[in-house]
Amino acid sequence: MTAATLEPITGRYLRLELSGRPHRVYFEEAGQGIPLVCLHTAGADGRQFRHLMVDADITRHFRVLTFDMPWHGKSSPPEGFENEEYRLTTAGYTEMIVAFCRALALDRPVVMGCSIGGRIVLNLAIEHAAMFRALIGLEAADFQEPWYDTEWLNRPDVHGGEICAALVSGLIAPQSPEAARHETLWMYKQSGPGVFKGDLYFYRVDGDLRGKVGAIDTGTCPLYLLTGEYDFSCSPADTERTARNIKGAQVTVMRELGHFPMSENPAQFRRYILPVLEKIRTGG
Amino acid sequence: MDSFDDAKLAAAFEQLPALLERDPNLIHRGAFFDARFAVGIGAIPFDVIVTAGRVSLLERGPFVMRPWRFAVRASAEAWGRLWQPTPEPGWHDLSALAKRGYATLEGDLHPLMANLQYVKDLLALPRRIAGGRS
């Protein structure tokens, strides 16, 4: 029998106001040093980054933090949510990240976001570059062509958790270990009704950054973009097209990874992310 | 470019009922799925009926006015690459094929979407026997 162990991750709730409404936001952290704020994908939560948070090669130099966005994971929707349709916007998402960093008095944090988190990282680079030490977009692009109708995601005659997981399951690389694949999908199965759909409002409608990313100054804040070769939602070609319009953006195509590199195959992902974090730490 | 043979891939697809019978978990996951749907393997049409998660009919066409709720059709190359033991990027999932224009999903998509993981896993079963690469 294996002895019980405690992981070095701690979780707390942060009370803060977002868009003029009180929120109770759950976040986790581990490690010490340069703050590294991790942004989860649409319809999921901060657990996606749990492997990074127990990786001593990372937590030795980085204070890794991740919060569940309102409506996600252990962060409840704001009071009165029952009378509205959830829709994530570029402005609201940006405000949320900036407010989180300020509330915890994080000094020039690194922000790493995946998918919608990767998209918003581009907007942070456009609007708030000076606030950050570096920005990392995983599966990030200024825009991607949609490949399904989001109306299927929240209707009473289709199981919301099952359809969300089934759709994104194809975005995981075939080489990813079964246990990690299914844990990644479990988060989608647990997501509240309409939450994934509401996140995709940002992704598809409100957060189109085409024609805007040229304003990014990587001299003020370095930008790293890493995309898995099996991601057909935000494909390597989408990321490369985006990067062509951003002088100094550094692109890596990750082999044998898909849309959820940090959770679908943590061992493969660390081969790519460790050198990036080392570069950031040493000011390279 | 590798070539993929319609007849060989269709023969692999005809193994579907036997492959499914060896996967009780997949049968269990389809327990509430009943549908008649068309599958196109390149130019070769199939009529498939799934009843409570089991294939109760799988017939090779051509057909005259055979009804179906939804249809999944893809080129021989697409099926052949999807069924490789480790498919290449972009060929590894039905939605990837559809997005990239190598497969079409038509008809009443409700039973497909309500059982999407089951249908994707069912249609990927021939991966266990052959990629059809000639």
CATH number of the domain within which B55 lies: 3.30.1050.10
Q: How confident is the model at residue B134 (pLDDT cuts 50, 70, 90)?
A: very low
How do residues B76-88 score in pLDDT, each as one tens digit?
999 999 999 999 9
How do residues A56-89 score in pLDDT, each as one tens digit?
999 999 999 999 999 999 999 999 999 999 999 9
Q: Smallest Cα–Cα separation from A136: which of A156, A120, A159, A150?
A: A120
- Topology of the domain covering A11-281: Rossmann fold (3.40.50)
The stretch B102-127 carries a mean pLDDT of 98
Amino acid of residue A117: G
Q: What is the pLDDT of residue B113?
A: 98
Tell whether ipTM is more than 0.90: yes
Residue B1 lies in a domain: no
* Domain range annotation of chain A: 11-281
> In chain A, which residues have their Cβ closer than 8 Å to the Cβ of B122?
none
Q: Smallest Cα–Cα separation from A263: which of A71, A114, A134?
A: A114
Side by side, the strands of the sheet bearing A21-30 are A10-18, A21-30, A62-67, A34-39, A110-114, A134-138, A223-228, A250-254
Q: How confident is the model at residue A96 (pLDDT cuts 50, 70, 90)?
A: very high
As a whole-number percent, the residues of chain A with pLDDT over 70 amount to 100
Residue B133 lies in a domain: no
How do residues B40-60 score in pLDDT, each as one tens digit?
999 999 999 999 999 999 999
> Does pLDDT of A133 surpass 80?
yes
> Does pLDDT of A54 surpass 60?
yes
Spatial distance between the Cα atoms of A272 and A250, rounded to a whole number of angstroms = 13
- In chain A, which residue's Cα lies nearest the Cα of B119? A166
The stretch A238-245 carries a mean pLDDT of 98
Q: Smallest Cα–Cα separation from B72: which of B114, B38, B108?
A: B38
The stretch A242-256 carries a mean pLDDT of 98
> Does pLDDT of B1 surpass 60?
no
A171 and B CB contact within 8 Å: yes
Residues 6+ apart with CB under 8 A from B15: B125, B126, B129
> In chain A, which residues have their Cβ closer than 8 Å to the Cβ of B89?
173, 229-230, 232
Q: What is the pLDDT of residue A75?
A: 98
CA distance B132 to chain A (A): 19
Spatial distance between the Cα atoms of B92 and B124, rounded to a whole number of angstroms = 9
Q: Considering its fold, how many domains does chain B have in total?
A: 1
Length of chain A: 284
Evaluate whether A226 touches A136 at the Cβ level (below 8 Å).
Answer: yes
Residue B131 lies in a domain: no
Q: Which residues pair with A65 in a beta bridge?
A: A29, A37
DSSP sequence for A164-206: HHHHHHTTS-TTS-HHHHHHHHHHHHHSPTTHHHHHHIIIIII
Inter-chain CB proximity B100 and A171 less than 8 Å: no
The residue segments making up the domain with residue B104 are: 6-126
B25 and A CB contact within 8 Å: no
Q: What is the pLDDT of residue A1?
A: 78
Spatial distance between the Cα atoms of A75 and A16, rounded to a whole number of angstroms = 12
Q: Is the pTM of this model over 0.90?
A: yes
CA distances from B104 to A129, B20, B53, B73, B109 (A): 43, 23, 23, 5, 11
> Does pLDDT of A284 surpass 70?
no
Using DSSP's 3-state secondary structure scheme, residue A108 falls into coil
